[in-house]
Amino acid sequence: MDFFIFLFFFVVSFFTLLAIFICVKIVIYTYAYFFWGAIYVKTTDEKTNKILELLEIKFGQKTADLGAGDGRLVIAMAKKGAIAYGYEINPFLVYIGKRRIRDSKLNKTAFMHCKNLWHEDVGDFDAIVVYGMKHMMGPLERKLDKELKPGAKVVLNYFIFPNWQPVKSEGDVHLYVKPSLDKPV
């Protein structure tokens, strides 16, 4: 009988600890997601080149990378002649991006900001780059539809918009152009 009582308490304790562990993990990941934003995934050099090719950056164009991570795309766009801005919510990554911009001597054409992309007006930009998450594509599409000027380019890395149709795709890198006001999406 003592063995069954021991076994019962062992099983209950095990599953209680497992439940606590899972709950703590969920809370940590949820907190990290809402505080820091989406997870950071480095954009490969191959994808960076595809993005730049699709953007066809002209000298002096104003570009933005929403969720800029360590600033590698901001630097690449600035090297192509753009006035490039990066918006990243993670202050550690912003620090790295600013340091990389300084080391590249692009301080006059590349800028990193520790800001939430949802709180920024992107209406002045000629081109936007996003490597977001699937769940944010619908709200982001609506935001850009409201704020971007007609003809502005948007390049999405991997995930796609639910309603806009890409004008060109290379693998899983997709180019969109904000439709003019008189044309449907």
Q: Is the pLDDT of residue 10 over 90?
A: no
For residue 1, the model assigns a pLDDT of 64
Higher pLDDT, 31 or 116: 116
The CATH architecture to which 45-177 belongs is: 3-Layer(aba) Sandwich (3.40)
- Structural contact between residues 130 and 144, judged by C-beta atoms closer than 8 angstroms: no
Prediction pTM value: 0.78
Higher pLDDT, 76 or 35: 76
Domain ranges of the chain: 1-36, 45-177
Q: How far is Cα 1 from Cα 61, in angstroms, rounded to an integer?
A: 79
* Secondary element (H or E) of residue 11: helix 2-36
Q: Is the pLDDT of residue 36 over 50?
A: no
Q: How far is Cα 176 from Cα 174, in angstroms, rounded to an integer?
A: 7
How many C-alpha atoms does 16 have within 13 Å on its Cβ side? 6
